[in-house]
Amino acid sequence: MAGEINGPQAEKKALRSEILAKRRALTAAYRQKASTRIIDVFCALPDFKEPRKVMCYASMADEVQILPLVQKWLEAGVTVTMPRVIRKGEMEAVTVPSLDALVEGEYGILTPDPAKCQVVAPEELDLIIVPGVAFDTRGERLGMGAGFYDAYMAKAIKAKRIALAYSCQLVSSVPMEEHDALVHKIITEQGIYNCLLG
């Protein structure tokens, strides 16, 4: 059939649908409790205390809620950045001076106010908190399919890449393509996974 998606793309699409459904099925109470646990575990690690320039994101409702982590970094004097879309498939890291500087951007996602932020070069970042739909313990990651993070992480050459995810997002294997970037570590409410990449 013309236009039919085969191979890794079809596998990714099927896995993305399956895991997003599982994540959306979590109750608000479970998400809150699990998010708090994940942030507490992460904040006890050197990975939280060592970096001086980090990139993270404003969570969507069904993702691990990481704005409390952002606040902790801001209070510690860490330079916090979030992504800003430049054009299709390309983004840049811009500073978040405070949580009050976040405004609603594309897709209803909070993003730094352009009037209050500055661009940070990818090679300056020490750590990236990487969003994703699914992960496996080798560090393989399935995102939303637009490729923004894979392209950006290829340029952030010294940044450690860590995922904060619910345990339902861990799978035995993620279909990968050559351009797909891996993560070094995954933290869920059930444990810490140091990946083969790390």
What confidence tens digit (pLDDT) does each residue in 141-155 have?
Answer: 999 888 889 999 999
- The reply, when asked if residue 143 is annotated as ligand binding, is yes
Residue 82 lies in a domain: yes
- The reply, when asked if residue 13 is annotated as ligand binding, is yes
Average pLDDT, the chain: 91
Residue 157 lies in a domain: yes
Residue 1 lies in a domain: no
- The reply, when asked if residue 139 is annotated as ligand binding, is no
Report the share of the chain in percent with pLDDT over 70: 94
Phi, psi of 137 (to 5 degrees): -75, -5
Q: What confidence score (pLDDT) does residue 96 get?
A: 94
Q: What confidence score (pLDDT) does residue 50 get?
A: 94
- The reply, when asked if residue 25 is annotated as ligand binding, is no
Q: What confidence score (pLDDT) does residue 6 get?
A: 66
Read off the CATH number of the domain in which 153 is found.
3.40.50.10420
Residue 190 lies in a domain: yes
- The reply, when asked if residue 138 is annotated as ligand binding, is no
Q: What is the pTM of this model?
A: 0.92
Asked if the model's pLDDT at residue 9 lies above 60, the reply is: yes
Q: How many domains does the chain divide into? A: 1
- The reply, when asked if residue 48 is annotated as ligand binding, is no
Residue 67 lies in a domain: yes
Please tell me the distance from the alpha carbon of residue 53 to that of residue 68, in angstroms, as a whole number: 17
Please tell me the distance from the alpha carbon of residue 190 to that of residue 92, in angstroms, as a whole number: 32
- The reply, when asked if residue 141 is annotated as ligand binding, is yes
Q: What confidence score (pLDDT) does residue 55 get?
A: 98
Q: What confidence score (pLDDT) does residue 132 get?
A: 96
Residue 174 lies in a domain: yes
What confidence tens digit (pLDDT) does each residue in 43-93 have?
Answer: 999 999 999 999 999 999 999 999 999 999 999 999 999 998 888 878 999
Between these two residues, 109 and 66, which has the higher pLDDT value?
66
- The reply, when asked if residue 69 is annotated as ligand binding, is no
With H, G, I as helix, E, B as strand and everything else as coil, classify residue 32. Answer: helix
Domain, as residue range, for 44: 7-194
SS (H, E, C) 42-105: HHCCHHHHCCCEEECCCCCCCCCCCHHHHHHHHHCCCEEEEEEEEECCEEEEEECCCHHHEEEC
- The reply, when asked if residue 177 is annotated as ligand binding, is no
- The reply, when asked if residue 144 is annotated as ligand binding, is yes
Residue 151 lies in a domain: yes
- The reply, when asked if residue 3 is annotated as ligand binding, is no
Residue 135 lies in a domain: yes
